[in-house]
Amino acid sequence: MKRITTRGEKNKPPTEQAPPRKAKDGPRPPVERALQREILFERHPLPMWVFDEKTLRILAVNEAAVGHYGYTREEFLSMSVQDIRPPEHVPALLKYLHEQEQSKPPRGLGRTEPWVHRKKDGTLIDVEISWSRISLQGRSAILAMAHDVTERRKNQEQIEQHLDRLRILHEISAAVTTSLDLNTVLEFFLRKANRLLPYSVFTIRLWNEKQQALEPVICRNLNEREWKAQSGISRGLTTVPFETNEPLAIRRIDMDPRASRPEFARKQGLVSYLGVPLSVKGEVIGVLSTYTREEHRFSGEEIEFFSTLASQVAFAIHNAKIYEQAQQALKRMHALYEVNAAITPLLEVGAVLDTLLKKAAELLPYATVTIRVFNKDTGKLDAAACWNIDEEEWKSEEANPPHGFASAVFETKAPIIIRNVQTDPIVQNHDLFRRHGLVSCVGVPLVSQEEILGTITFYTKEEREFSAEEVEFLSTLAGLAGIAVQKSRLYQEIKKTAQELQKANRVKDEFLSVVSHELRTPLNVVMGYAGIIKDKIFGEINSQQHEALGKILARTNDQLTLVNNILYATALESSDLQNKIFAVSMGDFFEQLKEAYQFPVGKEVTLNWNLPPRGLVVNTDPDKLKHVLQNLIDNAIKFTEKGSVTVSSRVRPGSRELQIRVADTGIGLTKEQMSLIFEKFYQLDGSQTRLYGGVGLGLYIVKRFTEMLGGNIEVESAVGKGSTFTVTIPC
């Protein structure tokens, strides 16, 4: 039979043994051998006994067994090997002995895995058994030797438990760093904590700043609904570690006066309690609680370990809340962007409000939204738009008292939170909200450039608080809406003003048209009679009369051109002018144009004409082309005190375009003037305007007529070097 030496026995002095027997002594007699075996059995330091293989009765025990188990020798000899085992372990023993009897191991030796034995005082110990079959007084017996491994097993279990705790800490730490979802992290944590104390109950409560109480969040191995229902906001064991920031261990919950609901603990079979604070950066944010269903004394090592776990959980909660806040901020920014993008292009107030409500319904977690807009004419807040409430009922007179909740928001120009709109005295239409199941609300003013335009109210169907961040977000949203409403109102005002201006402009155009027609008729008469007299049809005239008539014709022609310009400009604005295109002989056209400038111009200015071939025919509107060239020639003469004005035309080589140039040697133009001269009513600076006259319509009409003819006009000029205007039209 082999004996296993424990670590502690290695340093023990060897047991006294008989000196080695020399071979020459020969075999010992049977009596001597029996005596030696008896001495070895009795003096062996490990517990030993002999029992009958059939009856399992103990036949002999050594002194070590008596001392270790606490039974007297006589008590041992009246027992069987079953009696030193807990009852629940006896079936396993009998099964093992039966298997050994059937298998008949070689030499009748055996060794077992640790068994549980019970001492006389009831203490349970773990032992390894080495055994051997022997014959005792003709009976088959078993000699057994017990090696107590209880301490070794405890040490091994402690090591395994320590390693398991380290693994759990590592796994939780990994979960904390890889997941930012609070529920996922807490579920994972409770699942891992359950490995340490199987079938125990774990709960986590977090501090609710709004309610100023520890709020039940999550639990394991407990009916969550019942737990949350009984927890409420009452004070109990969990408030102690929260307020002291120290762990609290209680062996018997039912005997502790601080337990606020001992009946719930009894119903759930909760006996012992350990609560550790969840603390981050010195701030306690909640409590991790552990309950056992058997009386348990939490060791200092367990308390320390759960405190370490709690610090990791607190860190995870802290990170998750930061992440949640960041996500919430991102969602709100996205909502603001979506709302702003949707309402910015809109120019009708109704469309702005309807779109705002639609986006609020899509993006925000509210049951109902209403908008009231201030009416400057009546001095009242009009019910403008709503979502998810009966519009007709909401807009009714009963639902809109003169001094209600919305009026308070409007008058204070600040957000107002109502915890319960069904009972709050500031709300005057309680029945409406009861019918629609609306409970809490926050109203914020619609403000743009410090002007309050109305109010927007957000309702929920459960009683709740609105955080400062939430109210700030809704105020920003209302600000965007206020800007959009203000812009829409300005657009409506501008639109109305534009319509009034268009109406006034039409009246003005009609007036100018009438006046111009009335002016043109007598001017034509004056020019006609002056021309007849100048042509001596009524008789001879002297040179002074001839010169005077020339001046009359020139100035009358200027006035007629001005009147025509006004008429044309008015017609261009009203889009009443149409082209009258037909084939025009350019030779005849320029001859007639030249005839119109036969009178003296009153300056030292020479008119030069480079006329096109008489056979050239162009499809165009001759009246518009004549007006274009007359304006250019008149301007050239007007701004040339001395020199020449040259009118020339040609067909551009390789194209079907006619180019007509009017060049002068007058005062010229600056680059800035060249970029502006074709604008309506543009004139030169004041001194030049007084010197040269005009209203700034001639070149505007020239450009428009040229474009109507399908052509374009260009100008080249330099100050003091004259100007050249080039008109290009299709042939």
Q: Evaluate if residue 14 carries a pLDDT over 50.
A: no
Asked if residue 253 lies in contact with residue 262, where contact means CB atoms within 8 angstroms, the answer is yes
CA–CA gap between residue 302 and residue 164 (Å, rounded)? 13
Q: What is the DSSP letter of 401?
A: -
Greatest extent of the chain over all pairs of C-alpha atoms, in Å:
192
Q: Can you tell me which residue has the tokens 């239409």?
A: 429
Q: What is the mean pLDDT of the chain?
A: 83
Please give the helix or strand (H or E) that residue 154 lies within, else none. helix 150-178
pLDDT at residue number 6: 31
Q: Evaluate if residue 691 carries a pLDDT over 80.
A: no
Query: Rg (Cα) of the chain, in Å, rounded?
Result: 57
- Per-residue pLDDT band for 491 (boundaries 50, 70, 90) equals confident
Beta strands 368-375 and 283-292 are unpaired
Q: Which residues of 390-414 are buried (b: 16+ CB within 10 A; e: fewer)?
A: eeeebbeeebbeeebbbbbbbeeee
CA–CA gap between residue 697 and residue 627 (Å, rounded)? 12
Range with the poorest average pLDDT among 260-274, 377-391, 566-580: 566-580
CA angle 412, 418, 421 (to 5 degrees): 120
Q: What is the dihedral of CA 662, 664, 668, 671, to 10 degrees?
A: 30
How distant, in Å, are the alpha carbons of 114, 133, 342 from that of 148? 9, 21, 81
Query: Per residue in 648-680, pLDDT tens?
Result: 999 988 888 999 999 999 999 999 999 899 988
Region 51-55 average pLDDT = 91
Which of 57, 100, 99 lies closest to 76 in space, CA to CA? 57
Q: Which residues of 18-37 are buried (b: 16+ CB within 10 A; e: fewer)?
A: eeeeeeeeeeeeeeeeeeee
CA–CA gap between residue 533 and residue 531 (Å, rounded)? 5
Query: Per residue in 94-131, pLDDT tens?
Result: 888 888 777 765 555 666 678 899 999 999 999 999 88
Which of 108, 105, 111, 96 lies closest to 132 in space, CA to CA? 108
Q: Evaluate if residue 4 carries a pLDDT over 60.
A: no
Within 579-666, residue ranges assigned H as helices are 586-595, 622-638
- Per-residue pLDDT band for 22 (boundaries 50, 70, 90) equals very low
Q: Evaluate if residue 29 carries a pLDDT over 70.
A: no
- Per-residue pLDDT band for 428 (boundaries 50, 70, 90) equals confident
Range with the poorest average pLDDT among 2-6, 273-277, 579-583, 694-698: 2-6
Q: Evaluate if residue 331 carries a pLDDT over 80.
A: yes
| Percent share of the chain, pLDDT over 90 | 36
CA–CA gap between residue 56 and residue 83 (Å, rounded)? 10
Which of 272, 315, 325, 328 lies closest to 186 in space, CA to CA? 315
| Percent share of the chain, pLDDT over 70 | 87
Q: Please name the residues in contact with 322: beta carbons below 8 A apart, sequence gap of 6 or more.
A: none
Query: Per residue in 67-96, pLDDT tens?
Result: 999 999 999 999 999 999 999 989 988 888
pLDDT at residue number 686: 46
Region 322-327 average pLDDT = 83
CA–CA gap between residue 129 and residue 92 (Å, rounded)? 14
Region 480-502 average pLDDT = 85
Q: Can you tell me which residue has the tokens 């709004």?
A: 210
Q: Evaluate if residue 550 carries a pLDDT over 90.
A: no
- Per-residue pLDDT band for 334 (boundaries 50, 70, 90) equals confident
pTM of the predicted protein model:
0.48
More confident residue, 623 or 21: 623
More confident residue, 80 or 521: 80
Asked if residue 419 lies in contact with residue 426, where contact means CB atoms within 8 angstroms, the answer is no
pLDDT at residue number 291: 93
CA–CA gap between residue 360 and residue 478 (Å, rounded)? 11
Taking phi over 0 as left and psi of -120 to 50 as alpha, with beta for the rest, 182 belongs to: alpha
Region 584-600 average pLDDT = 86
pLDDT at residue number 699: 92
Region 223-232 average pLDDT = 80
Which of 148, 146, 144, 147 lies closest to 50 in space, CA to CA? 144
Tell me which amino acid residue 436 is. Answer: H
> What is the CA 243 to chain-centroid distance, rounded?
36
Asked if residue 590 lies in contact with residue 626, where contact means CB atoms within 8 angstroms, the answer is no
Asked if residue 214 lies in contact with residue 207, where contact means CB atoms within 8 angstroms, the answer is yes
Taking phi over 0 as left and psi of -120 to 50 as alpha, with beta for the rest, 667 belongs to: alpha
CA–CA gap between residue 371 and residue 381 (Å, rounded)? 10
Which of 396, 400, 399 lies closest to 380 in space, CA to CA? 400
Beta strands 642-651 and 604-610 are parallel
Which of 372, 365, 373 lies closest to 466 in space, CA to CA? 365
Which of 491, 560, 486 lies closest to 523 in space, CA to CA? 560
pLDDT at residue number 685: 52
The end-to-end CA distance of the chain, in Å, is 132
**Which domains are seen in the chain, by residue range?**
7-148 (3.30.450.20), 155-327 (3.30.450.40), 347-480 (3.30.450.40), 578-730 (3.30.565.10)
CA–CA gap between residue 298 and residue 276 (Å, rounded)? 12
Q: Can you tell me which residue has the tokens 């700030």?
A: 472
Q: Can you tell me which residue has the tokens 């180019």?
A: 659
Phi, psi of 232, deg, nearest 5: 50, -140
Q: Please name the residues in contact with 182: beta carbons below 8 A apart, sequence gap of 6 or more.
A: 316, 317, 320, 321, 324
CA angle 226, 231, 233 (to 5 degrees): 145
Instruction: Report residue 61 as tokens.
Output: 């025990």
Region 355-374 average pLDDT = 88
Q: Evaluate if residue 11 carries a pLDDT over 80.
A: no
Tell me which amino acid residue 545 is. Answer: Q
Region 691-707 average pLDDT = 81
CA–CA gap between residue 236 and residue 244 (Å, rounded)? 13
Instruction: Report residue 28 as tokens.
Output: 């010992």
- Per-residue pLDDT band for 694 (boundaries 50, 70, 90) equals low
For the ranges 159-173, 191-205, 272-286, 689-703, the one whose mean pLDDT is highest: 272-286
Q: Evaluate if residue 58 carries a pLDDT over 90.
A: yes
DSSP characters over 298-318: --HHHHHHHHHHHHHHHHHHH
More confident residue, 398 or 312: 312
Q: Evaluate if residue 473 carries a pLDDT over 80.
A: yes
